[in-house]
Structure 1
Amino acid sequence: MTTWNIAGSLTVVPAPTRTELLAEPVAKALAAMAAPEEVGVAEIDPGLADTAEFCAAYGSPLSASANCVIVSGKRAGEVRFAAALVLATTRADVNGVIKRRLDVRKASFAPMDEAVALTGMEYGGITPIGLPGPWPILVDQAVADQPELVVGSGIRGSKLLISGAALAGLPNAEVIEGLAR
């Protein structure tokens, strides 16, 4: 079993042993990963799912948290989506790097109700694991370089613990230097 140095006061177990703590698309995608037992899951108070509150309550370092945001933009009437994964201490470069990668005139955060409906995940728990197949997952180089990270689990009542390398190895993942500022 993996020892998580960033867990703070969390009780972490291998994610495949507690699939009830995962959104359905996350559980399905996790089962298809090469080493799902290397991903940890920890149950949390859903009211503390937002990154700053989570870190303060559980003693997990903010620098080891990654946020996944859903971004959309239009080109020729077609809406294009992507997920961007950046460290919680940074911001995604939505109207620079992401806009160019999506090849759209303007990129913005997808509306909450649309992001929730399309991902099958709860707002505040959206994670890159289990996103719709064709979406690119844009991973900031700083995220890919982290040995341990906390990310959403698809629900607000738990968090995943995973390596940056595992996130960078997800299907459709692209590691991008300078994705975050």
Structure 2
Amino acid sequence: MVCRHCNVEGCLHCVSAKPGQEGEKLEHCKQCMPGYSLTEEGECEMRGLGFFIAVGVVVVVATVLVIIWYAIVVSKPCVNPEGVEYGLQCRERMRLSVPGSSEAYPLTTNLLSTNVAGPGTMALFRYQFALLVWASTLLLVWFGFVVFVSSDLLILGNRAAESPQMLCAIIEWGHHRQMELVWTKAWFEHEFARL
């Protein structure tokens, strides 16, 4: 006398066995979910399995061909060493380096204040920094609600249920707590929507 999900994978409408019946087949499917087809045994079989197999075969063949192509390119002899050397020199001259020296900027360079590659780069990094500060501020305010109002704000909608009875209890509890704490969400959205 306990409600539970049908044990037939991909089943939309299940037909249960008669009371007292035992064995492996306690239920069978009457109608499968979209993307599944009903078999004679009352099971649901995924349609389009051949498509996924074909895609896998194509990916494997393409990967093998790319590896072969790369091996062929790597094994070719260098026929223009002067051009390669000139290209490497050009790349070296185009590298971003500290003004007045040929050394590259250190990894500790602050791109918010140091103009390494033009004002566009500084603007991009300042924008990224502003996004991080904004997201951190929102997170801290929400954790403030968690600390000062209720830690249930972190687990609403995330609790697992091990039985149908537990699921019903969790849904009831969650709805009750959500209605009690809805003012936090409303205040949070109202205050930060104005900014």
- The question of a shared fold, defined as TM-score above 0.5 by the shorter chain, is answered with no
Q: Which has the higher contact order (CA 8 A, sep 6+)?
A: 1
- Report the TM-score when normalising by structure 1: 0.14
The structure that is strand-richer by fraction is 1
Q: Quick check: which one's helix share is greater?
A: 2
